[in-house]
Chains A and B, each alone.
Chain A
Amino acid sequence: MEQLISIRNMFKDYPIGLGKFTALKDINLDFEAGEFSGIVGPSGSGKTTLLNIIGSLDVQSKGEVKVMGREVSELTRKEAARLRSEHIGFIFQTYNLLPVYTVFENVEFPLLLMDVKPGIRKEMVDKAIEWVGLKDKRKSRPAQLSGGECQRVAIARAIVKEPQIVLADEPTANLDAENSHHILRTMVELNEKLKTTFIFSTHDAKVIEYLRRKITLVDGRVVEDN
C-alpha cells in the first residue's frame, strides 16, 4: 500500500509563560492510502493538534512529519495551502459552512480555489452532493438544514475534489445517534468507493465502532495503535 503520511519522533510544544506545555510527545505513526482510522482519546489528549499538523494547518516543534512525501515544517504558507487545496479535505465539528452560500456553492468552493473549469466543476459538485444524499437540497442555505445535513454538506465539500486524505475532527460531536450513523456510513462508503484515507479525531463510541484502525492518545502519547 502507498504510504501517505509518515510521522517520526514528533513533539509539539506550546509556550506557557516562561515555560512550555508539550501537547504531543514522541509520536511515530504511518498512514497508508485507503485507511479508515481514528485518533481517539479524552479531551486535551492532543487529537486535534495531531490532526492539524497532519493537515499542515500547524507545524511540529520537533521531529519529522511527511505528508504526501513533503515535510510539513519545511513548507511555506503558500506550499502548505496548495497541499491542503490539492490533497487534503477537512471536516470540522462545527461544520464551518459559509452561511451565505447554498449547498451547491459551499461544495463548489474548493474547486473554485483549484480553478476547475465550470463544466467539470458542476459535474463534480453534483456527484459529491449525490454521494451524500442531498440532491434535493442543493439550493438550500446552511440555515435551512439540520445538523446532520450540514455535516453531510461538509463531507461533500471535503471529498468533492477527491483528495487522498480527509481529516475529520470530531465530526459527530454535534449530531444525534441516527445522524451520526448516517454520516459514518456515508464516509465508509466513500472510503470504499474512492479509496480516500479518512483520519478521525474522536472520543465518540459510535465513531470508534466504525474505525478499522484505532490510535489511542493519552496525554500526548500514543498508548495504543491497532
Chain B
Amino acid sequence: MLKLAWRNIIGGGIRTWLNVFILSIVLVAIIGFHGLYIGWQRDAETAMIKWHIADGQFWQQDYDPYDAFSFEKSRSVMPAGIADEKSVEFLVSQGVIYPQGRMQNIILKGIEEEQDILELPTEYLKYEAGKNKLMLGHRTAKKLELEEGDKVMLRWRNSHGSFDAREFEIVHIFKTTVLTIDQGMVWLGLQQMWGMLDRQGEVTYFSYKGVKPVVSAGWEHKTQDDLLAEFRAVFATELTGGIFMYILLVFLAMIAVFDTQVLALFKRKKEVGMMMALGMQRGQIIRIFTLEGLLSGFLAVGLGAIWGIPLLRKFEETGMRLPEMMDSYGMDGLLDAMYPKYTLGLVALTVVIIMLILLVVSYLPVRGISKMSPVEALK
C-alpha cells in the first residue's frame, strides 16, 4: 500500500511538489513564529533571573511592590546566618525626583553595592563619602530626559517622618530588557540609602544564590516561579495573539491539502473506479489516498528541513530586529531584538499537528468517493 501511495505521489509531479512546498512553508513559518515566542519568553525569564531574581527572594512580610504605602513598614534587619556572598539586599522607599525642575514620583531602590550575583551594574554605586550616586534604566532615563553625568534633585522621607533632599549625580544608565528594575525607579547604593533613611542595616527584600537559606519568621519566601508568575500571565495573553497566527497558518495548510485532495480525487475518479474494478477494496482505497496525504506531509518535513533549518538557524543567530518603539511596549524581554529558540518539542508538536491535519483532510474527501459504485466511478 505504501509502495502504491509513494508511486502515486511521486508520479503526481508538479502538483505534488507544489503541495509539498506550500506545506513546508507553513511548517517552517509555524515553527519560526512560535520559536519567536519561546525565545522571547526564555530570554525575558533568563534576564529577570540574572538581573533581579537570582535563585529566589525573601520579602519582608509586609512588602507589596504595588503599594507604595507598604514600603515604610516593610523593613527589617537582614536575618542572621546568611552569607553576604550568597545574597543581595534591597531597600525600597518612596521619593520624588526633580529632573529639570519638574516633579516626578519615583521609587528609590537601594542595592548592595558589592555583589556579583546579579547583573545589575552595582559597581557604579560604590560608596564614596560625600558623593551622591544614582543610576537608572534607559527607559526611565529617557522618560525623565536624563543622561549620564547629569545632576538631579531627590527628595525622600526618613524614618522620623522628616523630608530631606539632596542632589545626586547620574553615574550610569543601564540598558536592560527587565522592566521591573527599570520603569519608575532609580538605584542608589544600600549604604547611601541607610544613611538617607536613617535605617541602618534594614532591608526590604533580598535575592539569594544557591540553596534556599533558613530564614526567621517575618520573611516570605518567593521562588523563581512565584516571581515569574506575573510575567507568565501577561505573556500568556500575548501568546493568544500568536496562537491566532498559528491557527491561521494551520488553516492555510489545511485548505491547500484539502483543495489538492478534492481536485485530485475529482480528476482521479476514473482511476478510483479502475482500482475498484481490479479488486481494490474500499478500505484499501481510503488507505492509499490517506497515505498519499501523509506522505506529502513527510516530504514537506524533509523539504522544510532542507531549506528551513539553515534559515531558522540564521534567524536564531541574528534575531529579529525590533523597532525602537517596542521599548515602550510594556513587556519584559523586548529590547533591540528578539531571538527565537527552536526546541525539539516545538518541532515535534508542529509536525504531529500538521500530520494529524493531513490525516483528516486526506481522509475526508476520499471517504466520499470510495462509497461510489465502481460503475459510477468508471464513468
B274 surroundings in chain A (CB, below 8 A): 90, 92, 96, 98
Band of interface residues on B: 20 to 34
A110: interface (CB < 8 Å): yes
Verify A84–B278 contact, CB threshold 8 A. Answer: yes
Instruction: Report Cα–Cα, A135/B103, bound state, in Å.
Output: 97
Asked if residues B282 and A77 are in contact (CB atoms below 8 Å), the reply is yes
Chain A residue numbers with a CB within 8 Å of B280 are 81, 85, 113
| Interface pair A52/B375, CB less than 8 Å apart | yes
- Other-chain residue from A57, A85, A88, A105 in contact with B373 (beta carbon distance below 8 A): A57
A82 to B49, CA, bound (A): 68
- Alpha-carbon gap, A52 to B270, bound state (A): 15
Question: Nearest-CB distance from A192 to chain B (Å)?
Answer: 24
Q: Are A113 and B284 in contact (CB under 8 A)?
A: yes
B51 CB → nearest A CB, Å:
60
In angstroms, how far is the closest chain B Cβ from the Cβ of A122? 13
The answer to whether A55 and B277 touch across the interface, beta carbons within 8 angstroms, is: yes
Q: A57-B375, A112-B4 are in contact. Are A90 and B11 (CB under 8 A)?
A: no
A15 at the interface (CB under 8 A from B): no
Interchain CB contact under 8 A, B3 and A112: yes
Which parts of B1-24 form the interface with A (CB within 8 Å)? 3-4, 7-8, 10-13
Interface status of B279 (Cβ within 8 A of chain A): yes
Query: From residue A16, how far is it (CB to closest CB) to chain B in Å?
Result: 16
- A101-B7 contact, Cβ under 8 Å, with A57-B373, A57-B374, A58-B375: yes
Given A98-B271, A101-B11, A105-B7, answer yes or no on A58-B278 (Cβ-Cβ < 8 Å).
no
| Contact string against A for B residues 36-63, beta-carbon threshold 8 Å, 1 for contact and 0 otherwise | 0000000000000000000000000000
> Could you tell me if B276 and A81 are in contact, using CB atoms closer than 8 angstroms?
yes
Main secondary structure of the interface of A (DSSP, over half): helix
Nearest-neighbour CB distance to chain B for A157, whole angstroms, equals 8
Answer yes or no: B180 CB below 8 A from chain A CBs.
Answer: no
Determine if A84 and B373 form an interchain contact, defined as CB atoms under 8 angstroms apart. Answer: no
Closest Cβ of chain B to A82, distance in Å, is 7
Tell yes or no: B159 within 8 A of A by CB: no
Q: How far is the CA of A98 from the CA of B273 in the complex (A)?
A: 11
Residues of the A chain whose Cβ atoms lie less than 8 Å from the Cβ of B343: none
Once the chains bind, are A109 and B278 in contact (CB under 8 Å)? yes
Given known pairs A57-B375, A58-B373, A113-B284, the reply for A100 and B11 (CB within 8 Å) is yes
Contact between B278 and A90, CB atoms less than 8 A apart: yes
B104 within 8 A of A: no
A111 vs B12: C-alpha distance when bound (angstroms): 22
- Distance from B283 Cβ to chain A, minimum over Cβ atoms (Å): 8
**B12 closest partner in A (C-beta):** A100
CB-based nearest A residue for B278 = A110
Judge if B281 is at the interface, Cβ distance under 8 Å: yes
- Bound CA span A90–B12, Å: 25
Cα-based distance from A205 to B292 in the complex (angstroms)? 43
Interface size class of A (residues with CB under 8 A): 20 to 34
| Complex contacts, A78 vs chain B, CB 8 Å | 281-282
Cα A183 to Cα B55 in complex, Å, equals 85
- Known contacts A52-B375, A113-B284, A90 near B4 by CB under 8 Å: no
Contact across chains for A57 and B279 when beta carbons are under 8 A apart: no
Interface bits B151-164 vs A (CB < 8 Å: 1, else 0) = 00000000000000
| A86: Cβ under 8 A from any B Cβ | yes
* In the bound complex, CA of A108 to CA of B278 (Å): 11
Chain A residues within an 8 Å CB radius of B7: 100-101, 105
Whether A99 and B11, one on each chain, are in contact in the complex, defined by CB atoms closer than 8 angstroms, is yes
Tell me the bound Cα distance from A57 to B373 in angstroms: 7
In the assembled complex, how far is the CB of residue A30 from the closest CB belonging to chain B, in whole angstroms?
23
Contacts of B279 in A (CB 8 A): 81-86, 88, 110, 113-114
Please indicate the chain B residues that have their CB under 8 angstroms from the CB of A88 in the complex.
279
Which residues of A sit under 8 angstroms from B11, Cβ to Cβ?
A: 98-101
Q: How far is the CA of A157 from the CA of B7 in the complex (A)?
A: 17
Q: A105 to B6, alpha carbons, bound, how many Å?
A: 12
Give chain B nearest CB distance to A69 CB in angstroms: 18
What is the CA–CA distance of A111 and B373 in the complex, to the nearest angstrom? 22
**Distance of B378 from chain A, by nearest CB (Å):** 8
Per-residue 0/1 for A159-196: is the Cβ within 8 Å of any B Cβ (1 yes, 0 no)? 00000000000000000000000000000000000000
Residues on A with C-beta less than 8 A from B378 are 57, 92, 96
| Complex A-B, nearest 7 residue pairs according to Cβ-Cβ distance, in ascending order | A100-B11, A85-B279, A84-B279, A96-B274, A57-B374, A81-B281, A90-B277
**A to B CB contacts below 8 Å, 11 in the list:** A78-B282, A81-B281, A82-B279, A82-B281, A84-B277, A84-B278, A96-B274, A98-B11, A100-B13, A112-B4, A114-B279
